[in-house]
């Protein structure tokens, strides 16, 4: 879509410096943007591109406005402003096909007239699909599922039995919600499957990245709160809860019965043990390993950052000698006493 700078400034609440009638049709980086694009500066290491960019406009903070050689939209949070601008220029495309003739729909299922059902979708019995829901090709929606208004499932999403999806939820390709959790009991060396009788409840305004899996509860439901954003390839075990507006980056694994608070940020590759609690406002840096509850807000890290292999080998050897060193220190302390 095309917007004038005056229209964009009004929509995002920015101060406009330059040509109000300039038409913008796309976005671009400071290095590669054209005269029809808008760009932004959110990271100071790219500041040197401001004077030479060919962008038709740049979104900048007040501190950087004087450095811009083209039109500028001035606002405190440039990254949020860019996100809003990009949403204006690239509105979400929605299909307009009604119910495709290849869709299979079970009995006692209610589908709003405004919903869109693509090819090869299979919908079970007693399903409820709300207004303006858009279901992509190849999706599987099992019995008893409910999907709230304005939600969208991309291709090949699976919603297992009795899953509840809120309003304005975005679920990307390959996601599986409500598969059985890893519930097994050892009977004299043989593993017995424990029936998983709970389900999954997804709140409003949630986004779930491609190939993420969220297991159904063993007894109670697994719950994902309002506004949660999940990246690709995340595993959330049975009976977990994720608090409102928490964000989780890719390849995070969360074991069962873990309770994560609101407004948390969990870095990629983090592993979280089961049956623990994480307080509101916790930030976990990437590749952290969480094995016990975190009771206070703050930033937490674990793991060893990358270093040259020779130094890493030397430090590992020293780490393995810590027990011997500890014993020697104890012996010396005893002698001193």
Catalytic residue selected from 238, 259, 313, 326? 238
pLDDT band at residue 172 using 50, 70 and 90 as cut-offs: very high
Backbone angles phi, psi at 264, to 5 degrees: -95, 160
Backbone angles phi, psi at 29, to 5 degrees: -70, 160
**Alpha-carbon span 144 to 163, nearest angstrom:** 7
Query: Three-class SS of residue 134?
Result: strand
**Alpha-carbon span 144 to 113, nearest angstrom:** 19
- % of the chain residues with pLDDT over 90: 94
Q: Are 85 and 55 in contact (CB under 8 A)?
A: no
Tell the burial category of 179 from Cβ atoms under 10 Å away from its Cβ (0-12, 13-18, 19+): middle
User: Does 245 participate in catalysis according to the annotation?
Assistant: no
Distance from the Cα of residue 146 to its chain's centroid: 22
Closest C-alpha among 6, 2, 8 to residue 85 = 8
Mean pLDDT of 137-157: 98
Query: Three-class SS of residue 299?
Result: strand
pLDDT digits (tens, 9 = 90+) for 284-317: 999 999 999 999 999 999 988 889 999 999 999 9
Number of neighbours of residue 187 by Cβ within 10 angstroms: 8
Where do runs of H (alpha helix) occur along the chain?
Answer: 5-12, 78-89, 309-320, 322-336
Supply the pLDDT for residue 246: 98
Q: Are 161 and 178 in contact (CB under 8 A)?
A: yes
Please, what sign has the CA dihedral across residues 315, 318, 323, 329? negative
pLDDT digits (tens, 9 = 90+) for 35-44: 999 999 999 9
Mean pLDDT of 96-111: 94
Supply the pLDDT for residue 304: 83
**Alpha-carbon span 288 to 334, nearest angstrom:** 37
Q: Are 23 and 90 in contact (CB under 8 A)?
A: no
Tell the burial category of 133 from Cβ atoms under 10 Å away from its Cβ (0-12, 13-18, 19+): buried
Task: Give residue for tokens 């928490």.
Answer: 246
**Alpha-carbon span 153 to 52, nearest angstrom:** 42
Closest C-alpha among 303, 265, 297 to residue 284 = 265
Distance from the Cα of residue 108 to its chain's centroid: 33
pLDDT digits (tens, 9 = 90+) for 206-224: 999 999 999 999 999 999 9
User: Can you give the pTM of this predicted structure?
Assistant: 0.91
């Amino acid at each position: 879509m095309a917007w004038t700078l005056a229209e964009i400034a009004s929509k995002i609440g920015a101060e406009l410096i330059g040509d109000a009638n300039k038409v913008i049709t796309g976005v671009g980086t400071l290095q590669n943007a054209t005269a029809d694009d808008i760009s932004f500066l959110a990271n100071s290491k790219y500041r040197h591109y401001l004077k030479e960019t060919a962008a038709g406009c740049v979104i900048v903070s007040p501190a950087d406005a004087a450095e811009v050689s083209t039109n500028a939209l001035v606002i405190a949070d440039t990254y949020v402003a860019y996100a809003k601008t990009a949403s204006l220029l690239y509105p979400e495309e929605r299909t307009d096909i009604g119910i495709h003739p290849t869709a299979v729909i079970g009995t006692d299922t209610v589908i709003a007239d405004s919903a869109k059902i693509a090819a090869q979708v299979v919908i079970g019995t007693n399903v409820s699909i709300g207004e303006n829901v858009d279901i992509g090709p190849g999706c599987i929606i099992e019995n008893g599922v409910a999907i709230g208004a304005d939600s969208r499932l991309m291709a090949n999403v699976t919603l297992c039995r009795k899953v509840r999806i809120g309003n304005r939820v975005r679920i990307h390709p390959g996601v599986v919600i409500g598969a059985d959790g890893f519930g097994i009991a050892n009977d004299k060396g043989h593993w017995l499957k424990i029936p998983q009788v709970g389900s999954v409840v997804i709140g409003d305004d949630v986004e779930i990245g491609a190939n993420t899996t969220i297991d159904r509860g063993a007894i109670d439901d697994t719950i994902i709160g309002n506004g949660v954003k999940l990246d690709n390839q995340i595993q959330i075990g049975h009976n977990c809860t994720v608090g409102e507006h928490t964000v989780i980056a890719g390849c995070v694994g969360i074991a069962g019965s873990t309770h994560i608070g609101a407004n948390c940020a969990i870095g990629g590759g983090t592993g979280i043990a089961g049956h623990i609690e994480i307080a509101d406002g916790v930030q976990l840096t990437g590749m952290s390993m969480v094995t016990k509850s975190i009771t206070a807000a703050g930033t937490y890290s674990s793991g060893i950052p990358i270093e040259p292999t020779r130094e890493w080998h030397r430090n590992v050897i020293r780490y393995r000698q810590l027990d011997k060193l500890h014993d020697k220190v104890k012996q010396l302390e005893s002698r001193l006493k």
